Structure 1
Amino acid sequence: MIDFRYHLVSLASVLIALAIGIVLGAGPLKEGISESLNSQVVQLRAEKQDLRTQLDAANSSIDTHQSFDKTVLPAAVAGRLADRTVVVVALPNADSGVTTSSEDTLGAAGASLQGPVQIGEKWTDTSEAASSERAGVATTIAGALGLRTTATGDDLLNDVLGATLLTKVTDATAEPAIPEDRRRASWDALRTAGLVAGDYPSTPGSLAVVIGAPEVKVPTATSTGAQSLPSLAALAGALDAAGTGAVLTAQIDPKATDSTSVIAAARGESALRQRLSTVDDAGSSIGQISIVWALVEQAAGRVGQYGLLSGARAVFPSAG
């Protein structure tokens, strides 16, 4: 059993230590603690001011670059697509900002715009019922359009859309390959089936800009999003074949490691890569210029893969 005097000694020791701490804190140590705290406050204020200066400099740099972009972009594209009709096609989940920017840039390049045409989610629905419905719609429209093709299923549907939106005819005075009344009937049938949306493109284009989604997260190799990408890339390829050329574009995060995109799907298919141009940084001014210059290349029978991602052969096309 512990002696009561032991408790008294322990309590006295605690009280003496507390008293010494109070005396030192209010006396010899007070000045040191105060100086240390003041020094830390001064240092933090200096660091805050330094960060503010860096932020102001960064904002000023961004404003300067944006001002430069706004000045250079119109000059870089001016007149390059004069007398060209370009159809803008937005794939499911396409970035509306990229779509708007692309339309503005194409307009600045002198293009006559048609669209944007929105591709519906039903276009890539993998269910058996949806696939069967698309095949039936495609067969009916293809017959009405008078298409001569051996394609079936979704490949035939892609050809139907291509014939509805585009033509290889470059002479503005020549008759389009498909009469306007048949094109209109095809559009109405596709829209009624929920496959497309938007205003009817009254004039067939010779070139197309196809805008994809920023990226598709792929948790598994068999995910629905991943399975739709090759189909959408094939659609872009069909639009390229139906006209004088096409560019598939999107704004893809170059740092993304757990995702893929329709751009990657197109670049991964050798047959598409050899005839369909792609631009993976459409959200930037350089990307917007690349879209126009790539269309010019397409009209001249050339092809290229541009941007910052794997598969890009150059950051941007040649201005020649």
Structure 2
Amino acid sequence: MINFRYHVVSIIGIFMALAVGVVLGAGPLQRTINTGMNRSSSAAASDPQLSAQAEAEAAGLKALASSSLTGSLTGTQVALVVLPGASDDDVAAVRSTLTDAGASVVGRVTLTDNWQSTSMSQYRATLSTSLASHLESAAAKTASADGVVGYSIVQVLTSSGSETDLLRQILTDKSTPLMMIDEDPTGKATTLVAIGARAQNAATASSAPTSPDAWVGMAQAVGSTSGVVVGDASSRDAMISRIRSAGTAVTTVDSVGTTLATVDTALALSTKATGARAYGVGSGAQSVIPSNK
């Protein structure tokens, strides 16, 4: 299903850009896209013809992008981290695009509300002391409590051994689980893709207030694998917006729930660029699509 708030005009722009091989920046063109989306989003929702056109353009974008993506992620072993409120359809779309590009999705975990709820912040802070003693990453030594939780999740997905087994037991403890293992990668993952909720789902992802510190902590850990965080940046307080404004060293993709987001995710994993990058059309985006240079 297409999220029309982000999709209609951005798809037209990206479709044309991919066709001519233009690398789109975050300047005048992105402002034009955002303006166009705001003007046409309500019309798209009520106009069957416009809806059909957007569907066709999304299919065209995916087909056109496949020529650039095919084989670009061969040898890449990805684990998916599903955040609270994420749509199953969005997770499936990201997974399909990654595998079409040649990646192997070797595992999947789902994070619970305990991972991000502000009411559980003290619990996570206490737990982080125990988790930190089993971590292999040097970066985790200076991380926040939520950062330690994030690095622990990464270690479970990318490593194996007795210390990792202990981390797994702590994180999945049945009394207060932070994580559920849907598909065990047995430490084979080399990079991670974390997928968050759409804008309309974010408010109902948890019945309790959520902590941006948890988002940033997880994003830092994903960044240590050169991975990508995909989510919402439609407002200043949205997850991707908060991760970006915190200066987190991770690549982000906004507009989750659109073909643009799934294509950007695969392109971001395959691009040669280094450092934190911000793709999409939401708050804090640097460019609409990654450059393959």
Question: Does TM-score exceed 0.5, indicating one fold?
Answer: yes
What amino acid is aligned across from residue 230 of structure 2 in structure 1?
T
Are 2:127 and 1:137 aligned? Answer: yes
CA contact (8 A) 1:116 1:198 kept: yes
Q: In structure 2, do the counterparts of structure 1 residues 213 and 138 end up closer, same or farther at CA, with 3 Å as the change threshold?
A: same
Which position in structure 1 is the counterpart of 2:83? 91
Are 2:181 and 1:198 aligned? Answer: yes
Q: How does 1:210-221 map to 2 (within 5 A)?
A: 210-215=194-199, 216-217=202-203
Q: CA RMSD in A?
A: 2.9
Q: Which has the higher contact order (CA 8 A, sep 6+)?
A: 2
Using the TM superposition, name which of 109-118 and 197-206 deviates more.
197-206
User: How far apart, CA to CA, are the structure 2 residues paired with 1:133 and 1:310?
Assistant: 31
User: How far apart, CA to CA, are the structure 2 residues paired with 1:276 and 1:160?
Assistant: 17
Deviation, structure 1 residue 306: 1.1
Q: In structure 2, do the counterparts of structure 1 residues 312 and 56 end up closer, same or farther at CA, with 3 Å as the change threshold?
A: closer
CA contact (8 A) 1:119 1:196 kept: yes
Identity %: 25
Equivalent residue in structure 1 for 2:147, among 147, 155, 171 = 155
Deviation, structure 1 residue 214: 1.4
Q: How does 1:241-320 map to 2 (within 5 A)?
A: 241=224, 243=225, 245-251=226-232, 254=234, 260-270=237-247, 272=248, 275-297=249-271, 300-320=273-293
What amino acid is aligned across from residue 234 of structure 1 in structure 2?
G
Aligned residues: 239
Q: TM-score, normalised by structure 1?
A: 0.65
Deviation, structure 1 residue 59: 5.8
User: How far apart, CA to CA, are the structure 2 residues paired with 1:191 and 1:217?
Assistant: 25
User: How far apart, CA to CA, are the structure 1 residues paired with 2:215 and 2:168?
Assistant: 19
Q: TM-score, normalised by structure 2?
A: 0.70
Are 2:59 and 1:64 aligned? Answer: no
Equivalent residue in structure 1 for 2:74, among 74, 82, 104 = 82
Q: In structure 2, do the counterparts of structure 1 residues 117 and 60 end up closer, same or farther at CA, with 3 Å as the change threshold?
A: closer
How big is each residue's C-alpha offset from its partner over 1:153-195, in whole Å with a ceiling of 9 and x where there is no partner?
33322222222223xxxxxxxxxxx543432332232111411
Which sections of structure 2, spanning at least 5 residues, go unmatched?
Answer: 1-46
What amino acid is aligned across from residue 316 of structure 1 in structure 2?
I
Secondary structure at the counterpart of residue 198 of structure 1: strand
Deviation, structure 1 residue 132: 4.2
Q: In structure 2, do the counterparts of structure 1 residues 308 and 300 end up closer, same or farther at CA, with 3 Å as the change threshold?
A: closer
Are 2:107 and 1:115 aligned? Answer: yes
User: How far apart, CA to CA, are the structure 1 residues paired with 2:59 and 2:147?
Assistant: 44
CA contact (8 A) 2:240 2:252 kept: yes
Q: In structure 2, do the counterparts of structure 1 residues 74 and 134 end up closer, same or farther at CA, with 3 Å as the change threshold?
A: same
Secondary structure at the counterpart of residue 133 of structure 2: helix
User: How far apart, CA to CA, are the structure 1 residues paired with 2:127 and 2:163?
Assistant: 15
